[in-house]
Amino acid sequence: AQSVTQLGSHVSVSEGALVLLRCNYSSSVPPYLFWYVQYPNQGLQLLLKYTSAATLVKGINGFEAEFKKSETSFHLTKPSAHMSDAAEYFCAVRKRRLSGGGGNTPLVFGKGTRLSVIA
């Protein structure tokens, strides 16, 4: 079964500092990988996704993530944190079929990492 592990339920950074949120996946075949952000009492917004092209993926709001097969990781980074980045971040995985495509497999989410940004 697909799964993701997010290391650190809470990360705190200073405004302007580097943001690093960690995600490791478990899958026999490199899956599709996603990062979502959730603001209080809101749904989830897609930040970026890795499907099969470039291993360094750029997303919205200055975030990016790098797929590293050897480390089974998909860590999320942002060079300079902004106060508006404070939110809950979820890494998610969707199984990739050996024949290609994801079929109807649902997204599986990690438990989330709450990012706090200190002024």
Partner 1 sequence: DTGVSQNPRHKITKRGQNVTFRCDPISEHNRLYWYRQTLGQGPEFLTYFQNEAQLEKSRLLSDRFSAERPKGSFSTLEIQRTEQGDSAMYLCASRGKANYGYTFGSGTRLTVV
Residues interacting with partner 1, by CB under 8 A?
9, 32, 34, 36, 41-46, 49, 51, 90, 92, 94, 102, 104, 106-112
Q: Which is nearer to partner 1, 40 or 119 (CB)?
A: 40
Spatial separation of the C-alpha atoms in residues 70 and 11, rounded to whole Å: 25
In terms of Cβ atoms closer than 10 Å to its own Cβ (0-12, 13-18, 19+), residue 17 is middle
Q: Which residues partner with 92 through β-bridges? A: 34, 109
- Residue number, 53 or 119, with CB nearest to partner 1: 53
Shortest Cβ distance from residue 22 to partner 1 (Å)? 15
Tokens of 42: 């809101």
Task: Name the minimum Å distance from CB 98 to partner 1.
Answer: 17
